[in-house]
Amino acid sequence: MYSPIITLTTDFGLRDSYVAEMKAVIASLSPGTLIIDVSHEVEKFNIRMGAFILAQAAPFFPKETVHLAVVDPEVGGQRKPIVIQTKNGFFVGPDNGVLMLAAQFQEIQKVHEITNPKFTLKRISNTFHGRDIFAPVAAHLAKKHISVEEIGPKVLHPLNPGFAKVSRRGNTLHGEVLHVDGFGNVITNVTEKDLPKSAPDLTVEVKTVSEVIELKLTKTYANSPAGELIALIDSHGYLELAMNKGNAARGLKLNPGEKIILKFCK
């Protein structure tokens, strides 16, 4: 049994009616579609955070899933509404980078602007494209009866902010914080592949606390005493600074975007 899926990632919060209005539009146009919330608690206007969260979740969805993301400070302005078709599915939202990170992991095939009024609501407000443009386009894509070419013209240079690259000097890695999760785990842009093969111990230099901290590279939280600062490879392959039963980000005063310097003891 094929059941199409649409995911939603926004900074709308769950208190107002905005998310429900998008779901109402989807359920009206594409009954039977399964709608799965990725997050509506992205910080207001934080495109980078929305992009990160969507990129974490997207790989686990089945083929042909339609991912709708709206973190859209320039709604009604110059930024284009777009659809990205990848090898695995579709991404619908503003052309401000919020879709790009997740889409890139799936091999981008086509990027088109949304201009065809056949696939949007008849009346488009200036302030809520999530409901009036993105939700109806996602619903039409989920029904699989349209091609992205019908939606509008090709976009030649979609915005692609990217994430800071990790740089290496000898046994030192310069990286940055991508995300702090609800447990206070500090997720960095350093991946498993960036790490030396045999280095269970490392130091991390964090400007926010003007300190060089010694850490153990461990396999899981439960391996270390409660309250000890540890480093581990998280469930998505990123190096994470964590504290067993504690909040690492609070202790280290680390926020997304902050630089970290890792040194490996041979």
**Strand, helix or coil for residue 121:** coil
Contact between 147 and its own copies per CB under 8 A: no
The distance of closest approach from Cβ of residue 140 to its own copies in the complex, given in angstroms and rounded to an integer, is 16
Amino acid, res. 266? K
One residue of 209, 221, 227, 254 binding its own copies per CB under 8 A? 221
Contact between 200 and its own copies per CB under 8 A: no
Per CB under 8 A, the segment of 1-9, 146-154, 192-200, 203-211 that binds its own copies is 1-9
Q: Give CA–CA dist 237/72, Å, rounded.
A: 28
Q: Which of residues 65-84 bind its own copies (CB under 8 A)?
A: 73-78
One residue of 6, 47, 51, 54 binding its own copies per CB under 8 A? 54
CA atoms within 13 A on the CB side of 22: 29
Contact between 133 and 114 under an 8 Å Cβ cutoff? The reply is: yes
Q: Give CA–CA dist 61/38, Å, rounded.
A: 11
Contact between 21 and its own copies per CB under 8 A: yes
The number of residues in the chain equals 266
The distance of closest approach from Cβ of residue 263 to its own copies in the complex, given in angstroms and rounded to an integer, is 24
Q: Give CA–CA dist 95/113, Å, rounded.
A: 9
Q: Which of residues 227-266 bind its own copies (CB under 8 A)?
A: 232-235, 240, 245
Tell me the CA distances in angstroms from 177 to 172, 204, 251, 254, one per residue in order. Answer: 16, 12, 15, 8
Residues forming the site for its own copies (CB under 8 A): 1-3, 5, 7, 12-21, 23-25, 27-28, 31-32, 34-42, 44-45, 53-54, 56-57, 60-62, 73-78, 125-128, 131-132, 181-183, 219-223, 232-235, 240, 245
